[in-house]
Amino acid sequence: DQGLTSGPTSAMKAAVLGRPFRIAFSGSTDFQHVSDVAAAFVACADGGPEGARVYNLHGENVSVDEIVDTIAEIIPGSRGTITTG
């Protein structure tokens, strides 16, 4: 995972490794579960190449602060080491 939107994923990895991390953005954004994205990808690939359709995958809109709180709940030692903004 790379780029600005990779921050939450990188924060999860940092928490597991016991390292501090700053997510470079704040506010709310859509989050998708990997199995949902994989299922959509396979469905599109199996559908055939008719036309040039575009699909947007909307996930659950969650604040980045909620993600940080969830990381801290799952990995208590990470509380205060993951920041945003």
Distances (CA, A) of 85 to 4, 33, 65: 11, 23, 10
3-state secondary structure of 35: helix
Q: Which two tokens stand for residue 56?
A: 């947007």
To the nearest 10°, the Cα dihedral for 41, 7, 25, 61? 40
- Alpha-carbon distance of 67 to 73, in angstroms, equals 10
Of 25 and 57, more confident: 25
Mean pLDDT over the full length of the chain: 89
Residue 1 clears pLDDT 70, i.e. is over it: no
